[in-house]
Copies of this chain bind each other. A is one copy, B any other.
Amino acid sequence: MEDLRYREKLLCSRELHPEDSIIEVGEGIGCVRIGGRYTAGVPAVIAGPCSVESESQIIEIAEAVKAAGAAMLRGGAYKPRTSPYDFQGLEAEGLRMLLKAKAETGLPVVSEIVDAGNLDLFADVDVLQVGARNMQNYALLKALGRTDKPVLIKRGNAATYQEFLTAAEYVLSEGNPNVMLCERGIRTFETYTRNTLDISAIPVLKGIGHLPVLADPSHAGGRRELVSSLALAAAAAGADGLMIEVHNKPEEALSDGRQSVTPAEFAKLMSRLRRLKMDIEE
């Protein structure tokens, strides 16, 4: 890292924790393990819509992604949007719908939390996602560090690897070891893609640290037609997981339709991922 002075004492570093961390999500038969040998060469896939829009929408998508092999369901209820006048999510009602889909399919669910004051509402959400805009909202990270829930932190769009790892450290240092990192693209001069997927982040973060590293090809590229290539590349680079936006009617999506794939396209991507036979031992 451009500045290595923290490395020796970071809980997220290999120095203090040489073996890969394994994060357990959900319980019973639905339990998913992420990290180390569990996801080497075969990333766990989190799929679903950017936003929960209705009970029928989230349940229909949940059943489709489960059938295609997704390990978890994603769905946003609290949406930090650039403009206060954009759709902000269905909030508590959206969480209720997401949990209904969890009950129907048995898939563990992932949803973004933007305010520690809402923690009670997330009691049955399996993974608490911290979005890129809040990656350095240390008050929120510390509050999540005082829970024992799995936390998925997305990289800020201009965060260095060191800043990303020290953000995770805010959760770890409060006592919660269940942290996953997600590369979702950084901001560069190139505007054809929504962001620039920093594929190097995967081997770098897994080399310096022991936390599972996921990638989000949907937000990174911002274009449906790129999702498959970027997902395969992330898997080949060693990603422990992938977040894929899937919508049953992308053209009608209330957010991020441009980068959402259909259930049919998602099923094809899953089969390509399975056919990507990665040789995991060096």
Contacts and interface: CB of A to CB of B under 8 A. Distances in A.
Interface string A197-235: 111101110010000000000001100011011101111
A76 to B, nearest CB: 14
A200 B220 contact: yes
Contacts of A186: 188-190, 196
Interface string A161-178: 111001001100100000
A160 B9 CA distance: 32
A84 B173 contact: yes
B192 A196 contact: no
Of listed A138, A142, A228, residue having the most chain B CB within 10 A: A138
A275 B279 contact: yes
Nearest to A186: B188
Interface in A126-160: 133-134, 136-140, 142, 156-158, 160
Contacts of A173: 84-85
B188 A189 contact: yes
Given A82-B162, A230-B237, A237-B230, A200 B203 contact: no
Interface string A1-25: 1100010010000000000000000
A6 to B, nearest CB: 5
A200 B204 CA distance: 18
A193 interface: yes
A219 to B, nearest CB: 12
Contact of A136 (B9, B133, B196): B133
Contact of A160 (B81, B191, B238): B191
Interface in A43-93: 80-85
Interface in A93-140: 114-115, 117, 133-134, 136-140
Interface of A: 1-2, 6, 9, 80-85, 114-115, 117, 133-134, 136-140, 142, 156-158, 160-163, 166, 169-170, 173, 186-193, 196-200, 202-204, 207, 220-221, 225-226, 228-230, 232-238, 268, 272, 275-279, 282
28 contacts: A1-B192, A2-B192, A84-B169, A84-B170, A84-B173, A158-B158, A160-B190, A186-B189, A188-B189, A188-B198, A189-B189, A191-B191, A193-B200, A193-B204, A196-B196, A199-B233, A202-B229, A202-B233, A228-B282, A229-B236, A232-B278, A233-B234, A233-B236, A236-B236, A236-B237, A236-B276, A268-B282, A276-B279
